[in-house]
Amino acid sequence: MTLADMTFARWRALDPDAARRFAADAAARADGRLRSFETVEHLGGPFHRALIERGGRAFALVPGGRVRLGFDPDAWRPTPAQEASYAASFAEGYGYGAPDLTAHLIRELSPARTAETAALLVAVRDEPAPEPPDGLAEALAADGLRLPAADEWEHACGAGARTLFRWGDACPLDEAPYGDGGIRGEPNAFGLRIAYDSYAAELSQDRGAVHGGDGGSAVCGGYGRLLGWLPLATAHRNRDMAEFAYGPDGEYAWDSFSVRPVLTLP
């Protein structure tokens, strides 16, 4: 089996010793080194977390294969607090004409689907965009890296979880979705610092999507507590921010966005 053949299901089925050996081999073949390896609890069972250092960056090993992505409205039930928060936002004129919270999420989130993703090394942290969007591919390629596809970003964030957020369906509405601390500040199952601050706005290969935050638009705009947290949802694509990033104004504000470099395993 090649490194590229490592699927999410196979990765979960490996015993820790076999997973560590695979991660060490992946690190060596990527001209890096295995920095840490541990087995954590995720999705009701053990889950391996491997971090690899390469070229001064920390990467997480993210297996791919056939994975389930997107928001499934039939499998989600809002809490009373979420419904109340959205109702208050809608009464203030937010919600884009959808009086029902579920209808709003269907509009804002990517749909439930099955996708094929590559086995990757994914940067643990996002970093400031080094170039305007049209020059990002060339800038990252100089280090042998690239932007993730939108599906790859979503899989890396959710790590197989089918919940609204990478940590579950609920969010602490009494806390702000930015700054340090809280559940959003904890690494995800792969060890990534991702979907951690609403002021983030990560670009992917999909010119119609921005991930992991909305640049603070919902918070600064006073949209309401739940809508302030929603940009951290795994399947959030943020079309409005994408239009800004790739529109005429993006030429002057591109340094407001960040990127999460990835390396395809051979």
Note the pLDDT tens digit of each residue in 224-234. Answer: 999 999 999 99
Give me the pLDDT at residue 251, please: 67
State the average pLDDT over residues 88-114.
92
5 within some domain: no
Say if pTM beats, i.e. exceeds, 0.85. yes
* Residues 201/256, Cβ–Cβ less than 8 Å: yes
Q: What percent of the chain has pLDDT over 70?
A: 98
266 within some domain: no
For the residues of 102-154, what is the DSSP string, one character each?
HHHHHHHBPBPEEEEE--EEEESS-EE-SS-GGGHHHHHHTTT-BPPPHHHHH
185 within some domain: yes
Give me the pLDDT at residue 97, please: 79
Give me the pLDDT at residue 1, please: 63
**Does the pLDDT of residue 4 top 90, yes or no?**
no
Q: Identify the CA nearest to 258 among candidates 147, 168, 149.
A: 147
Domain coverage including residue 199:
67-115+127-261
State the average pLDDT over residues 42-47.
94
**Does the pLDDT of residue 249 top 70, yes or no?**
no
d(CA 205, CA 118): 14
**Does the pLDDT of residue 83 top 80, yes or no?**
yes
d(CA 206, CA 129): 15
Query: Across all residues in the chain, what is the average pLDDT?
Result: 94
**pLDDT tens digits for range 139-167:** 999 999 999 999 999 999 999 999 999 99
**Does the pLDDT of residue 252 top 70, yes or no?**
no
137: CB partners within 8 A, 6+ apart: 146, 147
**Using 50, 70 and 90 to split pLDDT, how confident is the model at 247?**
confident
- Stretch among 49-53, 131-135, 208-212 having the lowest mean pLDDT: 131-135
* Residues 121/262, Cβ–Cβ less than 8 Å: yes
Q: What percent of the chain has pLDDT over 90?
A: 85
Dihedral pair phi/psi, residue 140, rounded to 5°: -75, -35
74 within some domain: yes
DSSP at 256 = G
Domain count, the chain: 1
* Residues 97/38, Cβ–Cβ less than 8 Å: no
DSSP at 168 = B
**Does the pLDDT of residue 250 top 70, yes or no?**
no
107 within some domain: yes
State the average pLDDT over residues 215-222.
93
34 within some domain: no
46 within some domain: no
120 within some domain: no
* Residues 59/123, Cβ–Cβ less than 8 Å: yes
